[in-house]
Chains A and B, each alone.
Chain A
């Protein structure tokens, strides 16, 4: 297998380094699959098993970077916070995923 590990590593400069935390990757991966539909805060907390403080802080970081938006919705009479990935978030996730794929192939 011929790999140019250095150029693969250098390609990472085109990525947003702030995305590279486990919690943020989990959030982007989860929300990218749901598109415009999004997921509520309580669904993310339960499914990803992330505690409130960490989840709230990381959702806000992703919002500040323009990768997520949030809105209030009503479900069964309860007001909930819904998080939706933006087109910029989708693009960043696609770039990150593609780079991770290339990077991991190098490890084979």
Chain B
């Protein structure tokens, strides 16, 4: 193997290894009623976690999230937030969401309510469970290790919201649930007979 003498000047710049669809992200922010302000730390956090949760939900916005010290995160999104601040802050976009995308935005807003802590915990749990395929206990352990500064209650709430948003019950889940609750339903009907 030959040594690449020019390596010292070949450090790839962080930007544009992927092309993020910022117009679409802005359309999601608009739909969510999210008034982004670059100066606010929590707004930058909310922006990151919204994009990562949508990514986990299967909506490709071109900003791939990986685990960094801040949990699931896209450095490319950060670059765009700073480079196109005016567009993000004034929700300038010509992109329109499909009805399915609008529905997903609605669910995200209803479940998480643009609150930084549940979004952060939820996105982190979702990343470990879906991207790394960890079982629920292992995913929980990783969330607690990365976010030890959140209380048990905050972690539990974030995870339950992530499950509500990201996981669709399978037919088997529904059947299991039916079996589990069937006993109680029958018992309560029997009580009514008396």
Residues of A within 8 A of B (CB): 1-4, 11, 30-31, 33-37, 39, 42-44, 46-48, 73-76, 80, 82, 94-95, 97-99, 101-102, 105-106, 108
Contact = CB atoms under 8 A, between A and B. Distances in A.
A33 B4 CA distance: 24
A51 to B, nearest CB: 13
Contacts of A44: 69
Interface string B13-50: 01000000000000000000000000001101100000
Interface string B150-190: 00000000000000000000000000000000000000000
Contact of A35 (B2, B42, B75, B145): B75
A108 B2 CA distance: 11
Contacts of B69: 30-31, 34, 39, 43-44, 47-48
Interface of B: 1-4, 7-11, 14, 41-42, 44-45, 68-70, 73, 75, 78-79, 81-82, 116-117, 145-149
B145 A75 contact: no
A1 B1 contact: yes
A6 to B, nearest CB: 13
A108 B1 contact: yes
A102 B1 CA distance: 12
Contacts of A98: 7-11
Contacts of A42: 149
Contacts of A39: 69-70
A15 to B, nearest CB: 11
Q: Is the interface of A mostly helix, strand, loop or mixed?
A: helix
Nearest to A4: B3
Contacts of B4: 105
Given A35-B82, A37-B44, A76-B42, 6 more contacts: A11-B8, A30-B68, A37-B78, A39-B70, A48-B69, A102-B8
B41 A47 contact: no
A89 B57 CA distance: 36
A86 B45 CA distance: 20
A47 to B, nearest CB: 4
B3 A105 contact: yes
Nearest to B8: A98
A92 B69 CA distance: 20
A36 B70 contact: no
Contact of A73 (B7, B8, B41): B41
Given A76-B42, A98-B11, A34 B73 contact: yes
A34 B75 contact: yes
A42 B71 CA distance: 12
Which of A4, A98, A99 has the most chain B CB atoms inside 10 A of its CB?
A98
Contact of B3 (A1, A31, A47, A74): A1
Contacts of B8: 11, 95, 98-99, 102
